[in-house]
Structure formats: structure tokens, C-alpha cells
Amino acid sequence: MKIPEKAEKTSKKRGLKAFLTVLFAAVLIAGAVELFCESALIFNSDRGIHELSSERLYFSESGEGPVFDTSGLYTDKIVFELGGESYDASGNRYPVENESMELSVHIKYEGDEDFTTFYDSQPAFLSTEVINVFDHGEQGLFDKKSVDEVRIYIESVPAGADASDEAYSGRDLSGIYISKAYVKNVPEFNIYRAFTVFCASFLLIGAAVFSGVLIKNPHIAFFFICVLSGLAMTAALPQNKVGNDEETHLQAVMDMASFPNEMHISDGVLNQLMVTDFNNPKAQPDTIEERKIYSENLNGACNYKTGERSPDFHTLPNRMPAYAASAIGVKAAKGLDAPWTCLIEAGRVMNLLMYAVIMTLAIRRIPCGKFIMMAVALFPQNLFLASTFSYDPFITAAIYLGLAYLMEEMLNPGRRINPKNQAIMAIALFAGCMVKAVYAPLMLTALLMPKEKFEKKTGLWIYRAVIVLLFLLLIASFIMPTVIAPSDTGDIRGGATSEVSQIDYILGDPVGYAVILIRQMILWIPQCFFGPDCTTFMGHIVTGDEGFKGYYPVVLLILLTAIVTDRKNKAEKSLCGLQKLWIFLMVGAACVLIWTSMYVAFTVPGAKEIAGVQGRYFIPLIFPLYILINRSVGGRVLARQNDICYYLLIISEAAVAMISVWSCAVSVFCL
């Protein structure tokens, strides 16, 4: 029945009014939270700047610094401005602003006998140390955070550095000094905290107000959760290397953004495009004051237009589609003469928007398993990858879009195939697999297209021939270069690797390699398909090395709930047994290629275990695997119960996304 024009206008006005109400409420909550967080300073008698020292105070040769008597002063932040230089055994000089430092600060609270100690890694370009006292005391927000004494030390070996390096052998730190020290008790508006609270409030209140719309349209729910949590993540992350191999991806983006000219960059930019002490992921600015100073210094050192360096970086053609969005953002920032940190933000935001748009189209198009795809797409790891420089978001989004178009045609056989949909499906699958050809077997899932879709057998055979040809092109780009001209060395990050030796071993003892491969797959598949490795790890921020694996149990529960309860089915039929078997085999074949590629390129010859495999490599395979065990059935009896489950899934996804942003980015780098 057609909705009367007047009723439709009234509905739109109500929707707009509700949207503006949610927006206003989110702004109000963000402002209230800011006022609450700063109230302890606003009404404090010790508010202001309290100078501890204005003269140069030098460290000892071993790095022991001065002692500051604060005499029970209420203390929110302690600031040390550092200067000078250290020396190695050969007399080489290292200015504090050009190297990362590992500091330890010891705070004695009033009434305590012992010191509270914490460690902070200072990045290069940052010579100011800001300590958030509230991070380390046991007092409540409105309790007096009184400090009696503060001591500061410099460790002889910076974070992430090799202790055996000659530069740190006999290191003399007596040339480093504190030029100024003071207690800062000044209430300030924290834009990062406020924006994160705004995004969280908007999502949670919006989910309650527009629950009916979001349940019927999970792609809309995904888009808002992805964009708002991703923007909060992008804003909170330092403009330094935090993502997986981010400097390599930044090389490619800068190369594309420089077209048609060559790069003319300063040493500051070059140091961000390579693995150096200047982009040490373990050394980051970790307070809002440090971020501001760090950004100013980084912008001053990074000239990306008229620098003297012209590095010859070449982006592989097959990876250009994955970097296109980031390159457009960086190109636009360059055209506006934006500072380096804004250029980094522009590239990251465009990568996020590319991922959000393509995945939204995929979730909208897929006829079944919408909430499963949404759950996978909103893994904290996926949000993090999309918020940094990486080609992984494009791979996942493109492959999922191709599968969505394929399954729409497969599961609705009553109509002829739409040539436009057919082209989008083939192009999306090929583009996603082209970036990393280990996913090439997924291209063959397109062979499941029902023959009833084609009016003539000729069209069917032409279609199948094109799919097989695209698959062979992908396999050739993956296998042929290594087989024809293997390198004497593989990925140097894996140690003493050799492609030649590994290929000789595989060809000489295929059964032995098969045993290694099968054993490795059996042991690691749990981690790669439903473990923290593929769900909650975030580059150099959440690695699991220190015990914290993100909110993995909650994310796993959301995924399992989506698999069990997802009954949003717009398909006329379900996958049959043979179709499921074929998809399962293609996923398995892709797994074999992933592990084999790591064995050849990243594993030391002769090793009985495969090194270098990461959970994020399997994210493009997760949805096609889990859709096989979802029973997309149900009826009116379960409709209401399922709607409740869908609503809880949406709320949970939004909550986990924003909690991950807060605990892994905002609270780490922006308070």
C-alpha cells in the first residue's frame, strides 16, 4: 500500500526531530562529563601552576635525576622539560629531542611510606614529560591527591632498543638536564575525551530511539557504529606508527599521493616511512599535553613538499586499489598545505570511510547472515586496521562485498542474473584477492552460480571461463614469481630466511611438509578463526604479549550469538550441502596458501613450525566459514524474540567498540 504523501512528510519530520534530539542529548552528556571530570580542579584551592624548579638540574651518569619536595601539594599533573644530550662510549652525542627515552618516575603520596613507580617511553621529537598523577594514586576523583615527593630517572636503554647496541654500552646520561619542573593543576577541556563520550552517547541513545529502524536495517547500524567509533579511534591514536607495518603502508600511500611527481621530503618524513627510532611504536606521547608538543615538533620536522630527500618507493600495482582512498586523503591534505599530522589523519580517515562504505553495501546486499557479517566487520581489530594505514580493510570489505552479491544471486534462483550485479561480484572478489593472492580460492566460489541464472549455455560457459581465468591470474601472481625466481632471502623480519631453500625442501619432501602444514593448521585454527588473534588484537597497542587481549570473551560471545540467532533471511532458498562443501574447501585452500606463503617467506629453512602467521590474515575467511553453520530459518513465532536478540547485538557491538576505543586509545594517549 502506498503511504500518503502527507503521512510520509510527517514521518520524516518526526525522524529528523528524533535525530536532532539524540544529537543534542549526546552533546549535553559530553559537556556534563567534561565538567564532572574537571570539577576536582575547578573547585580546588591549589588550582594553578606551581613551579618546582626553574634552573638546570642534571642527571647523574647512570640516569638518576633530582628529587622534588612537593610538601603535600594537591597534584594533578607533574611536568618536566628536558634538555641536553647523552653520550656513548665513543663520545657520540645524542640530543634528547632526537631519540626515544625510557623514563621511570617515582611518586610518594602524602601518608604513604613507599613510592608508586611507573615507566614511560618518550618518543623522539618529544622532550617534555607529563605525568598524570590520577593514573597512579588510589584516591577517588574528589579526594585530595596530595604528593610529598617526586623522583625521576632515565633508563640507560630506551624502550624497544637492543641492549647490546654499542650506542648504549657505557652510555653517559650526565649531559641531560631538567630545565623546568612544575605542578599543573589547571582545568582544561579535553577534546578527545569529549568527542569519545559524544560518540558513545549518540550511538547508545540512537540505538534506543531508532531501534526499529536499525533492527530492520543492520547495515545502517553498522555504518554509524563503524564511522563514529572509528573516528574516535583515529582522533585518539598518535600520528606515529601504531598499526601493523604502518610505515610500509604509508610509503605506498605517499608514493601514490605524489603522482605524477616524485617525492621531495625531509629527513623527518623519511624517518616516518621506515623502521627507525623516530617511529618506535613502543614510545608514544601518552598525555594530551605531550600530544600537543609532539605534534608541533613533528610538524616542524616533517616537510613533505620541498625536502631534500627523494626516495624511490614503488607501490605494487595490485595493491593500489587498497591504498587509493588513503592516497586521495593525503593528496587533498597536501593540496591544502596541511601540517604532517593532519596529513596522517586525512589518510587514516579516508581508509576508515572506504571500509565503512563498502562493508555497509555488503551487509545491505547479503540476503542472509547480516548480523554475522556485521559482528565480524566490527571486530575491534577490524576497526583498528581501518583507522590506520593498512590494506587489510580493503581486502576484507571487497571480498565480503563480492560474496554478498554472489549469495544474493545464488539464493534467489527464480530470476535471471543481473549483468551489473555479476560484474560487481567478479570485480569485487578479484580486487580483494588481488591485493593478497593467498585468497585466490575464494574467487572459485563464484562457480556456484546456478545455471538457471543464464538464458543460454553459452553465457554460462563464458561466465565460468572468466572466473577460472581470473583465478589463474591470481595464482600466477602469487606462485610464479617465487617458483621461477625465488629469492636467496625471504622476509628479513623472520630471521635467516631463504625462499630457495624452503622451495627445495617442499619439492624434495612434500609429505614432510604436508605433515608440518596439517599439524600447524590444527593447532592454530582456533586462534585464527575465533581467538583474540583475529578479533581483538590492535597492532602494537593490544598484542597479547602483556596479558591483555582486548575484550575477547565479550567479542566471542557476540559472534556466537549472531551465528545462533541470525534469522534475517531475504533469500528464497538456503545453501545446499554441496555448496557448503565447496565453500568450505575454498576456505581451506586459502588457509593452505596463507601458511605456505609464510613458510616460504618468513620461516627459517628446516624449521618444523611455520612462523609469521597472524590472526588478521584469516579475517576475510571468517564470514564465509561461519555462514555455513548458521541456519537462516525462522518464522513469525520467533520474530519478536529474534528482534530482541538483534537489538541486544546492536547495543553490544556499539558498547564494545566504544569501550575498546576508550581503554586502548583515549585513556592511553589522550588524558
Residue 574 scores a pLDDT above 90: no
Residue 562 scores a pLDDT above 80: yes
> According to the model, what pLDDT value does residue 482 have?
61
Residue 636 scores a pLDDT above 50: no
Contact 104, 119 (CB under 8 A): yes
> Which residues, other chains included, contact 219 with Cβ-Cβ below 8 Å and sequence gap of 6+?
360, 361, 363, 364, 370, 374
> According to the model, what pLDDT value does residue 504 have?
76
Low-confidence winner among 93-102, 192-201, 600-609 (lowest mean pLDDT): 600-609
**Which whole number is the average pLDDT over 86-91?**
82
Label residue 634 by pLDDT band (50, 70, 90).
very low
How many Å apart are CA 561 and CA 540, to the nearest integer? 29
Residue 666 scores a pLDDT above 80: yes
Residue 37 scores a pLDDT above 80: yes
How many Å apart are CA 533 and CA 543, to the nearest integer? 8
Residue 16: CB atoms within 10 A of its CB come to 10
> According to the model, what pLDDT value does residue 4 have?
63
Q: What is the pLDDT of residues 291-350, one digit of tens each?
A: 999 999 999 999 999 999 999 888 999 999 999 999 999 999 999 999 999 999 999 999
Residue 2 scores a pLDDT above 70: no
Residue 670 scores a pLDDT above 70: yes
- Type of residue numbered 18: A
Label residue 93 by pLDDT band (50, 70, 90).
confident
Q: What is the pLDDT of residues 147-177, one digit of tens each?
A: 899 999 998 776 666 666 766 677 889 999 9
| Torsion sign across C-alpha atoms 77, 80, 81, 85 | negative
What DSSP assignment string belongs to 219-263?
HHHHHHHHHHHHHHHHHHS-SS--STTHHHHHHHHHHHHTTTSPP
- Going along the chain from its start, the domains and CATH numbers come out as 48-186 (2.60.120)
How many Å apart are CA 389 and CA 372, to the nearest integer? 26
> Which residues, other chains included, contact 21 with Cβ-Cβ below 8 Å and sequence gap of 6+?
209
3-state secondary structure of 184: strand
Please tell me which of 46-60, 375-389, 441-455, 509-523 the model is most confident about, judged by mean pLDDT. 375-389
Rg (CA), the chain: 28
Q: Cell match 665513543: residue? A: 90
Mean pLDDT, all residues of the chain:
88
CA-to-CA separations, 361 to 357, 401, 436, in angstroms, rounded: 6, 7, 22
Report the largest interatomic distance among the alpha carbons of the chain, rounded to a whole angstrom. Answer: 89
- Type of residue numbered 516: I
3-state secondary structure of 267: helix
Cell numbers given for 552: 575477547
How many Å apart are CA 405 and CA 620, to the nearest integer? 15
Q: Using CB atoms within 10 A of its CB, is residue 8 exposed (0-12), middle (13-18) or buried (19+)? A: exposed
> According to the model, what pLDDT value does residue 1 have?
45
Q: What is the pLDDT of residues 45-76, one digit of tens each?
A: 889 999 998 889 999 998 999 999 988 898 89
Q: What is the pLDDT of residues 221-237, one digit of tens each?
A: 999 999 999 999 999 99
Residue 494 scores a pLDDT above 90: no
